[in-house]
Structure 1
Amino acid sequence: MKRISLRMVREDLVDIPQYALPDGFRIRLFEKGDEHHWARVEASVDEFENQDSALEHFHKEFGPYINEMMNRCVFIENEHGEVIGTTTAWYGNLKDDGEVLGRIHWVGILPAYQGKKLSKPLLSAAMNILANYHSKAYLTSQTTSYQAVNMYLNYGFRPYITGPSCHEAWSLLEDTLERKIVE
């Protein structure tokens, strides 16, 4: 599938779907020193060339905001206390109008743990955090992450159309997911 970047927005943060983790897993918040866990997970899902480049990115994007990360970054641990997934309930601007929205940012689960019903509880936990700070949320993704996009649609996120490439992206996703997405 052609990789096309896309954005999605959720106009409110009420009635967030809730999912429990399977037995043996737990969710916890970021603690100082966890940046290595974040980098390992994100590098494992090919967001970065390697763990060192992921760690470098972490320090650049989140380094000045470690205290905020302790309230906004979520990890999933397995039964041995190993971090196997993460996402961040961050914030940013969807448009250039100055409005700050919540942002689901850097979702990742180690490949060996994908398909084990961990993504929905992770997303629910992050969205619950966002609801404490924001009234709306957005995220960025790409057409090649169509399974994640399908989950985001089921969580109430909708396409944010900004130009012709968006129409191509959503048309590809409608065909792949066999569902009507754009009204």
Structure 2
Amino acid sequence: MQRLPLIMVRSLSNIPTHPVPEAYHIRSFENDEKDWAAILTNAGEFDSVNAGLDRFKQEFAPYPAEVRKRMFFLENEAGQAIGTASAWYGELNGEEMGRIHWVGIVPEYQGKKLAKPLLAFLLQQLASTHQKAYLKTQTTNLKAINAYLRLGFTPYIQDDTAGAIWEQVYTELNTMRQ
């Protein structure tokens, strides 16, 4: 499937609970931009850690106080950062909303049911200041899209093109689930 952008939205009421498994915990950002870049590079978002650091500087460096409150890391029992995600903010079609931003878990920890607890935690964080949340993803992230759908996110279909893309995604998801 071609890599195309997608947007998903969710109300921040009735957030499901997904406890973090015992051996893991979530903590706030502590000047971890290198960990952030490494996790997202390992998860396939960047070609190199340096490219990730450049993106961090561009998107987050101007907002150090917000980063400390809104960026989180998932750590294993050894205290190693193995996942990251941000409970950021943004605007979608003129409406201010919370934003699930830059979600990534290193490959060796993917498939261990860690994304749902991390995402549920982020949704709880956003619910204190927002009524809705959105996220952006790509058609090639089918496992993530499946997790987002199970957490109550729905497709944001702004035009016929987006509708057609979502039809393709649902076809791929149905094939994947069989």
Q: TM-score, normalised by structure 2?
A: 0.94
Instruction: Give, in whole Å, the separation in 2 of the partners of 1:174 and 1:147.
Output: 12
Q: Tell me, which stretches of 5 or more residues in structure 1 are unaligned?
A: none
- Among 44, 47, 50, the residue aligned to 1:49: 47
Aligned to 2:3: 3
What does residue range 61-140 of structure 1 map to in structure 2 within 5 Å? 61-95=59-93, 97=94, 99-140=95-136
Q: Aligned ranges for residues 154-169 of structure 1 at < 5 Å?
A: 154-169=150-165
Using the TM superposition, give the Cα deviation of residue 165 of structure 1 relative to its aligned residue in structure 2, in angstroms: 2.9
8 Å contact kept, 2:18–2:116: yes
Contact 1:89 1:103 (C-alpha < 8 Å) held by counterparts: yes
* 1:90 Cα deviation from its structure 2 partner: 0.4
* Structure 1 letter corresponding to 2:91: N
The answer on whether the counterparts of 1:74 and 1:125 sit within 8 Å (CA) in structure 2 is no
State the AA in 1 paired with 2:71.
C
Query: Which segments of structure 1 move beyond 3 Å, counting only runs of 4 or more?
Result: none
Give the superposition deviation at 1:173: 1.5
For these two proteins, the number of residue pairs brought into alignment is: 175
Deviations 1:40-76 (A, max 9, x none): 1111112111001101110110001111111111110
RMSD over equivalenced CA pairs, Å: 1.3
Q: 5+ residue gaps in structure 2?
A: none
Match of 2:34 in 1: 36
CA contact (8 A) 1:4 1:165 kept: no
Q: Aligned to 2:60, what secondary structure does the other structure show?
A: helix
Question: Are the aligned partners of 2:39 and 2:83 in contact in 1 as well (CA < 8 Å)?
Answer: yes
Task: Indicate the SS of the match to 2:85.
Answer: strand
Cα distance in 1, alignment partners of residues 150 and 112 from structure 2? 18
Asked whether the equivalents of residues 21 and 117 of structure 1 are also in contact (C-alpha less than 8 Å), the reply is no
SS at match of 1:18: coil
Shift of 1:136: 0.7
The two structures have a TM-score, normalised by structure 1, of 0.91
Displacement after TM superposition at 1:2 (Å): 1.9
* Residue 138 of structure 1, CA deviation: 0.5
Q: Which residue does 1:58 correspond to in 2?
A: 56
